[in-house]
Each structure stands twice: as structure tokens, then as C-alpha cells.
């Protein structure tokens, strides 16, 4: 080992990558030696202490998602690798001493930026990116260069590719960028690039990842299941038909479950491997073409599909948390909308988005003011306000992709910033005009009320598409179904009163003898039941106290005026305000002819002047 190491250090020194150090330095790092796949040694350092004192450079690191929208017309590909990428970046004399490392043959320092230093990726990415700037159809991520031929036909695409390849090689020669000939893949119909398989037909899964999953042995502990689900989750954009077997495996990772691998789990693992092995080809996202999002929610998961021209661009799914599984169906459907917007944010932000949904109440909810929605839906609506969303109702049979994904979700962990807080910002129950005992009585009576059991089941399992499909006794709930997202005895901000307590609640509302209008106003603020207005009016009309103090004014009988026999014999004048401006009007009783003048003010002199003008 010592002889190959010494030869490698001498080679690095001969190539001008490292140099000997014969003076004292403030920093010294440990040497790390790694054997390459070809048997040669790679010399690195352990710069972790040094990294704590370094500031990272600010340069955007591109991802595969950044270049996929540009590949919609790509037909031919070439990939190459920048040879010894970090060695292209020279270090200043003062900084080079910070990279001093100890070997058995003495101390050395790096003259080129070494691997492992925290600023290295950004510093290196800047150099080839700026060097190849202005060359269309050429992309570089880290040290991997992609050259594409983009035309409508294979022949013209090859010609376009060759021109770009020549321009790329010329620029590399001018800028002193060396490419690794051993990793050159020239003029291919499909290439592996950044762990993705780029083809002329679209995006495919990396065969190495597919092979890793399909050949993975049976997990023997919770960590093994988590590794498997993590790999499957990475491929979620390709997975359409992952079944609920994924949930079967996820249950093994729960803390309250004892490890027990059964035939059911074995079957789930086999199904997952089969689905991953037969994943579809995804179309490249084209920013110039309109796209559609299909989203759906099942009892246990959320699903979304990004489509262009009816072809899939990406899929997404996740399991519902235990608290989310107790949501009403409307809340689950809206949560699926939020999930799809946030998952495809890079594609949807700043564009008009058509979202297909088989849940009709979502259309009505989006049209209504924010404050009219329940608090939980308000939070969800606020999360998607930055998007321009147009929800279109389509029958469930036409939302096949999202529906399948929602029932075949992955056990995805959401980013910390997008996890919905389970704590209500405003607890409506605490602000209702009922004591805790009173609410307890209402809940108990609701459970025994047969009439209310039907809407409760409807809320939990989903509303029908048409009002006519509902039982007659609960059809009136259909009009405000978006205000009943979860059955917690609330209709929006009002408490739904069961039948056995309605008389008692009516008596409490009427206890102050506020009259018909006052009692109705008080009732509408906090309670609801079908026929509430008529029941309260009937009760008040039978109250002797209210009738004895009833001071309502009787409307004066309308008296017709005498019809004049000629124009201008009788006229009427009045002042009125419209749009915060004052006007003076004169109407002739005989012909109904009218004149209107604007009043700069309502002083008597101004009114008299306008009146004289009308009769001039």
C-alpha cells in the first residue's frame, strides 16, 4: 500500500496538483486514501475542522429538474465527464496553505481545490458553467456534460447535435477544460445522466436503481424496510400503480408494532418490485404547452398526476397521517389539491393551472370568500393563494391516473415547511355561546338523532354528485356542503341542533323577549336546524309578553295621487345620493318626464338655483 501511495503522491506533485510544505502552517488536515474501481488510489483530505471556518460561495447548483423542460425535442444525446474536475480550479498561494495535510512522507499542500471542502462544489460549478455560457443545448451539472440534438426528425437532430458537439469541444479547448475520453458516450438515443435515463421518447428510471430494488433481499428489520421505502419514494415520479401494499410495509416501521414478517408482507414486496420494474416512460415537461393536473384523495392516501397532451409528465403520492385520515372527504380532497400544487410548484408557479377533480364541492369552495370557509379549509386555501388555479369538475371515471396513485401512495415524508400544523389557530368550539356541558349534551343527542346520522355518514364517505341522489330529509344540506367539512356539530360557525334539543334552544333564544327580528338575528349567529326561522316565529307569536309590548309600526296604506290633466301641472322634487355624490331630481306627474342635476353641495341656494333651471 505504501509504494502505490508514494507513486500517487509523486504523480500529483508532478502534475502540479500538490506541493511539499516546509514551513509551519495554521491548519493541517488528515489524509484520506480511497481505492478507485480501476484499482488506483485517490488521495483526499478530511477537511471537516477546516470547513467550519470556511464560508461557502454563492452560486446556484443546477439539478436535473432544471434541464428537463428543455429536452422536449431532444432526439440525440452525448454525455462526457470533466476529467479531475476540481483540479481545474487553482488555489491562491495564501489559501493553499490552509489545505496542508500530513503524510508518512512529509507534509504537502493542495495547489488545486481538493475534494471535500465545503465551498468546492459551488466554486467548481461556476467555472465550466461560465466557460460554456451561450452554447444552446449544452448542460453541465457538477462534472457531467450533456450535449443534445433537438429537432423534429432524427436526421436533423443528428446534424444539430454534431454542430453543438463541435462548438462544445472548441470552447473546452479555448478555456482549458479537459474531458475524460474513457467516459465519453457519443451520439446515443438514450444515456444515463445524473442517475436518470434520458431517451428520445422521454424520461426513464435509472436501470441501476431499478435493479437495486428488484434484487433487494427481504428486509430483516425496521431499518431495512425504511431503506426500501426510501428507494421506492425516490422513484415516486415514475410510479403509477403502487398499491396499498406499500402501506402494508410502512406499518412495520411504527413504534407500536412488533416486527413480524408474514406472507402478506412478502406479497407486498413482490408487488412493489413488479411495479418498479414496469414503470412507464415520462414525457419531458414542455413549458410552452398547457398542462393539466389530476388530483384525488382516497381514505388512506393522496395522489396527483401532471399531464401534457394527455401524457404523464410526473406522478406524486403520499400516505395520509393518522389525523388526516379522520378528515371529512371534502377536506381530504382539498388537501390533495394543496399537495399537488406544492409538489409540482416548480411547474405550476406563475401559470394558469387547470386542475381536474371528481369532487364537485371544490368548485364552490374556491368561488366563495375565504372567511366563509371553515378554519381548516381556510388554512389550506391560504397555502395555494399564490397559484392561479382553475378547478374543473370531471367524472371520476376520467380521473384514472390520480385516483390510482392516491390508492397506491408512497410513504413520502413531506418537507418540514409544508407539513400542515394540526393545532387550530382559532378553536371555534371555545368561542361558541355554549358551556362544555351544553356541547356535551348536543354531541350526545346528535349520536342518537337518526336524521343527523345520514349527513354524518355522507360527510365521512363523500357527497353524491347531484342533489337528487340524496335522501329528501337531508337535501337541504347539499347547498352548503362545503361548510360541513367534518362532523363536529358545526355548520360553518354555527352549531347544528338535534331534534330533541330544538325546543329548549328556542326557549333560550327567546328568553330576553327580543321580538321576532331580534331572536332570529341571535339564532342565526350561533345555531342552525332545518325550519329554524318558522319554528322561532311560531313560538314568539304565542308569547303573551311579546304581543303585549309589540310596538311594531303599521305600514301606512298607499294613497294614489290625483292625475293632472296637462304637463307641468304637478311635479315632484327630491334630493338623493348615488356613488357618494348628491343629485337633484324633478319628475313631471303627467308625463313621468324627469330631469337630474348634479349638486356640488346641498345648500338651499344651490337647490333653488337648480329648481329654477328645471322650470325655466
DSSP-derived 3-state class of residue 185: strand
| pLDDT for 424 | 39
pTM: 0.56
As to burial, measured by CB atoms within 10 angstroms (0-12 exposed, 13-18 middle, 19+ buried), residue 587 is middle
pLDDT of res. 414? 41
| Angle subtended at Cα 372 by Cα 366 and Cα 377, rounded to the nearest 5 degrees | 60
Alpha helices (runs of H) in 449-574, residue ranges in sequence order: 450-461, 502-510, 515-526, 532-541, 544-548
CA 573 to CA 529: how far, in whole Å? Answer: 48
In this structure, are residues 181 and 86 in contact, taking their beta carbons and an 8 Å threshold?
no
CA pair distance 283, 191, nearest whole angstrom: 16
Angle subtended at Cα 87 by Cα 85 and Cα 90, rounded to the nearest 5 degrees:
130
Residue 164: the pLDDT is 92
Q: Using the Cα atoms of residue 578, residue 579, residue 582 and residue 585 in order, give the sign of their dihedral.
A: negative
Could you tell me if 291 and 306 are in contact, meaning their C-beta atoms sit under 8 angstroms apart?
Answer: yes
Q: Residue 151: left (phi > 0), alpha (psi -120 to 50), or beta?
A: beta
Q: Which positions of the chain have pLDDT values less than 70?
A: 1, 234, 240-245, 396-435, 459-467, 473-493, 548-556
All three cell numbers of 342: 406544492
| Alpha carbons 73 and 93: distance in angstroms, whole number | 47
CA distance 77 to 161: 7
Q: How many residues does the chain have?
A: 616
The pLDDT of residue 492: 54
Cα–Cα distances (Å) from 289 to 232, 235, 324, in that order, read: 30, 25, 35
Amino acid at each position: 500500500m505504501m509504494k502505490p501511495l508514494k507513486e500517487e503522491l509523486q504523480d500529483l506533485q508532478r502534475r502540479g496538483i500538490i506541493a511539499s510544505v516546509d514551513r509551519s502552517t495554521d491548519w493541517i488536515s488528515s489524509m484520506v486514501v480511497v481505492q478507485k474501481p480501476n484499482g488506483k488510489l485517490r488521495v483526499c483530505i478530511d477537511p471537516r475542522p477546516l470547513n467550519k471556518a470556511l464560508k461557502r460561495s454563492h452560486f446556484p447548483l443546477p439539478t436535473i429538474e432544471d434541464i428537463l423542460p428543455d429536452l422536449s425535442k431532444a432526439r440525440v444525446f452525448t454525455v462526457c465527464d470533466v476529467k479531475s474536475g476540481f483540479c481545474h480550479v487553482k488555489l491562491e498561494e495564501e489559501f493553499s496553505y490552509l489545505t496542508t495535510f500530513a503524510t508518512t512522507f512529509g507534509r504537502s499542500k493542495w495547489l488545486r481545490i481538493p475534494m471535500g471542502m465545503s465551498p468546492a462544489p459551488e466554486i467548481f460549478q461556476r467555472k465550466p458553467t461560465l466557460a460554456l455560457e451561450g452554447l444552446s443545448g449544452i448542460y453541465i451539472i457538477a462534472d457531467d456534460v450533456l450535449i443534445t440534438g433537438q429537432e423534429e426528425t432524427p436526421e436533423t437532430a443528428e446534424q444539430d447535435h454534431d454542430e453543438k458537439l463541435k462548438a462544445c469541444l472548441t470552447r473546452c479547448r479555448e478555456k482549458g477544460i479537459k474531458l475524460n475520453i474513457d467516459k465519453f458516450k457519443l451520439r446515443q438515443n438514450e444515456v444515463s445522466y445524473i442517475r436518470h435515463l434520458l431517451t428520445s421518447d422521454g424520461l426513464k428510471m435509472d436501470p441501476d436503481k431499478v435493479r437495486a430494488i428488484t434484487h433487494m433481499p427481504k428486509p430483516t428489520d425496521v431499518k431495512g424496510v425504511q431503506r426500501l421505502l426510501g428507494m421506492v419514494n425516490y422513484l415516486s415520479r415514475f410510479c403509477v400503480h403502487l398499491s396499498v401494499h406499500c402501506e402494508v410495509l410502512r406499518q412495520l416501521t411504527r413504534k407500536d408494532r412488533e416486527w413480524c414478517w408474514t406472507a402478506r408482507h412478502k406479497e407486498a414486496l413482490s408487488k412493489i418490485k413488479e411495479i418498479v420494474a414496469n414503470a412507464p416512460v415520462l414525457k419531458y415537461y414542455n413549458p410552452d404547452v398547457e398542462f393539466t393536473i389530476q388530483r384525488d384523495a382516497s381514505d388512506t392516501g393522496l395522489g396527483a398526476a401532471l399531464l401534457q397532451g394527455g401524457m404523464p409528465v410526473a406522478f406524486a403520492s403520499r400516505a395520509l397521517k393518522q389525523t388526516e385520515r379522520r378528515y371529512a372527504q371534502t377536506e381530504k380532497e382539498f388537501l390533495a389539491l394543496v399537495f399537488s400544487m406544492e409538489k409540482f410548484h416548480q411547474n405550476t408557479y406563475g401559470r394558469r393551472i387547470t386542475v381536474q377533480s371528481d369532487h364537485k364541492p371544490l368548485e364552490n369552495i374556491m368561488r366563495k370568500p375565504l372567511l366563509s370557509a371553515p378554519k381548516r379549509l381556510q388554512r389550506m386555501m391560504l397555502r395555494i393563494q399564490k397559484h392561479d388555479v382553475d378547478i374543473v369538475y370531471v367524472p371520476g371515471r376520467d380521473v384514472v391516473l390520480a385516483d390510482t396513485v392516491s390508492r397506491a401512495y408512497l410513504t413520502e415524508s413531506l418537507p418540514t415547511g409544508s407539513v400542515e400544523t394540526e393545532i387550530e389557530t382559532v378553536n371555534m368550539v371555545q368561542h361558541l355561546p355554549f358551556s362544555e356541558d351544553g356541547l356535551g349534551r348536543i354531541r350526545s343527542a346528535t349520536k342518537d338523532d337518526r336524521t343527523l346520522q345520514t349527513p354524518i355518514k355522507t360527510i365521512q364517505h363523500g357527497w353524491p354528485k347531484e342533489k337528487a341522489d340524496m335522501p329528501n330529509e337531508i337535501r337541504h344540506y347539499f347547498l352548503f356542503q362545503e361548510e360541513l367539512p367534518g362532523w363536529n356539530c358545526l355548520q360553518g360557525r354555527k352549531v347544528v341542533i338535534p331534534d330533541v334539543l330544538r325546543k329548549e334552544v328556542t326557549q333560550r333564544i327567546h328568553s330576553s323577549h327580543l321580538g321576532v327580528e331580534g331572536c332570529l338575528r341571535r339564532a342565526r349567529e350561533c345555531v342552525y336546524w332545518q325550519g329554524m326561522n318558522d319554528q322561532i316565529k311560531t313560538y314568539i307569536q304565542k308569547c303573551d309578553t311579546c304581543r303585549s309590548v309589540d310596538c311594531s309600526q303599521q305600514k301606512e296604506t298607499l294613497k294614489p295621487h290625483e292625475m293632472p290633466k296637462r304637463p307641468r301641472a304637478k311635479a315632484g322634487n327630491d334630493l338623493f345620493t348615488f356613488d357618494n355624490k348628491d343629485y337633484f331630481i324633478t319628475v313631471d306627474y303627467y308625463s313621468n318626464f324627469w330631469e337630474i342635476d348634479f349638486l356640488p353641495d346641498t345648500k338651499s341656494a344651490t337647490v333653488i338655483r337648480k329648481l329654477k333651471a328645471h322650470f325655466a
